Amino acid sequence: MISFEGPVLVTGTDTGVGKTVVTAALAAHLMGRGRSVEVIKLAQTGDDDDAAEITRLSGAPARALAAYPDPLAPFAAARRSGLPLLPLREAADAALASKADVVLLEGAGGLLVQLGEGGWTARDLAVELGCPAVVVARAGLGTLNHTALTLEALSARGVDAAVVIGAWPHHPGLAETENLLDLPGPRLGWIPDGAAELDPEAFRLSASEWLDLS
């Protein structure tokens, strides 16, 4: 199992898999165990404010290092807006400068989406920092291949990783129940679908039931 000390990357097998809610649940669980946590969203695109949502749900301080108006991958969103791309060194320095026990670094999209200057990816940042990764995966069809590819891409660069299912359905079908048996990689747990609709206090209390970080 991965260690939650210092920086930890939160990435995903794709976009829309639940990275923000998983990041909030990780933060809430760790804070419930007496750890100080800071969350850094590497690049925010579109109208959503993932950092604010994480703070609302978990109570952890969160901020975005770069933000772009168009709901696109960060590299394309920066190009369209004319705003500067985030240098890899700046992202790494932000993580290393934190005084928190754990710094959760939430990516954008999947693992190999270009996030900043020179086309660096979330994997490049994990390698730069020598930190582990939490991979957020879907529950349904297609997740076995996507998760295996993401874990393989991390392992190829020496990055330890574990998996969280980002939105476990209230009424899982055959594919979901079988995938639960076959999903590759060490597993930290799953977040129920619709968890973000919970009252923040209920969300924070439930996080330890959803996740096992031991």
Provide the residue type at 201 as one letter. E
Tokens read off for 190: 């799953």
- CA-nearest of 62, 22, 55 to 165 is 22
Angle, alpha carbons 105-47-17 (nearest 5°)? 50
Is 41 one of the annotated active-site residues of the chain? yes
Q: CA 189 to CA 61: how far, in whole Å?
A: 23
Query: C-alpha dihedral over 200, 205, 209, 212, to 10 degrees?
Result: 90
Work out whether the CA dihedral 156, 22, 99, 75 comes out positive or negative: positive
Among 12, 27, 28, 41, the one annotated catalytic: 41
Q: CA 100 to CA 1: how far, in whole Å?
A: 21
| Edge-to-edge strands, sheet with 6-12 | 62-64, 37-41, 102-106, 6-12, 133-137, 161-168, 187-192
Q: Name the residues annotated as catalytic.
A: 41
